[in-house]
Structure formats: C-alpha cells, structure tokens
Amino acid sequence: MTFMRSGPVVLGLVILGFSATAIAVDNGFKFDDPNTQATFIAALRKDGIPFQTQTNGTVTYDSRLEERVSRLRFAVLHQSFEPCTHFPDRALENQFTSRLRLEGIPFGIEMQGTKRLITWSRDDDERARKIGWEVLRASEQH
C-alpha cells in the first residue's frame, strides 16, 4: 500500500457560471497488489467516498475523509498494517519488496514525510521479518 501526503491541491470546475464542488485532494493510498487495490476502490465507491485514481493507480481523496478511508483500507485486509520496516537504501527496499512479492506476502508502502515504511499484516509478520533479515545479511556480505 502506498500512502502519501502532500500540500493541499484543490480541484474545482467553473464553466459558464456553473461550479462543481471543490475537493481537497491531498491524501493518497495504493495497495501494491492489484486485486487488493480493486477491492479497496470498490469499498470506497460503496461507502460513497469521492476519490480520483492517478495514472500510477494511487487513489487520492480529500484529507478530511482520512479517518473513513483508513477504516475502509484496513477492513480490506481484515486487520491493520502495524508491522513495518524502513530501508534508507532504495535498492535494499526493492530487494525486500521483490522477495515479499515472490513469497506472496501482501504489503504496502506508507509515506511519513520523506520516509517510506514497508508494511504488512500481522499474520505475515514472522515471514516478512525473516525476509528483511535475509536481505540485510546478503547486503553485508557484498
């Protein structure tokens, strides 16, 4: 999952005196797994949460709806993404996420400022942490 925050971007439309409702679109999120992302989008639609989908698949939405979106996001996986790790080296992060994909472990990427946190479900915590240690050990041997 990818979670981003940036400065507020206000989208509005004024054509011939008619205006659309402005939506502050400054939060975004994306599950790495396309099926999970599709389930997330369906849940947003069902709950009536306005959103936009970026070309990279990230869903953006009004930051004032963050609490509702977070509840839906976590409901999609039936548990919260609490376990996480951070790799300051993007190459190590890529090795780690590639291994998670190979092992079939769903994960997300949450942005906290410029720091990228790789998150996964509690059920996969032991396997994901083992993979993280293996990636780190392999990098130290080179």
Q: What is the pLDDT of residues 18-37, one digit of tens each?
A: 334 444 557 888 888 787 88
Give the Cα separation of 111 and 93 in Å (integer): 14
pLDDT of residue 43: 92
Tell me whether residue 69 is exposed, middle or buried, using C-beta atoms within 10 angstroms of its C-beta: 0 to 12, 13 to 18, 19 or more: buried
Q: 89-103: per-residue pLDDT in tens?
A: 999 999 999 999 999
Map out the domains of the chain with their CATH numbers.
1-78 (3.30.70), 80-142 (3.30.70)
pLDDT tier, 113 (very low <50, low <70, confident <90, very high otherwise): low
Whether the pTM exceeds 0.95: the reply is no
CA angle 110, 28, 113 (to 5 degrees): 45
pLDDT for 83 = 78
Q: Are the beta carbons of 24 and 9 closer than 8 angstroms?
A: yes
In terms of Cβ atoms closer than 10 Å to its own Cβ (0-12, 13-18, 19+), residue 135 is buried
Q: Where are the beta strands (DSSP E) in 6-98?
A: 10-11, 14-15, 18-19, 23-30, 51-53, 59-62, 84-85
Alpha-carbon gap, residue 90 to 77, rounded angstroms: 26
| Neighbouring C-beta atoms of residue 59, cutoff 10 Å | 22
Return the percentage of the chain with pLDDT > 90, whole number. Answer: 34
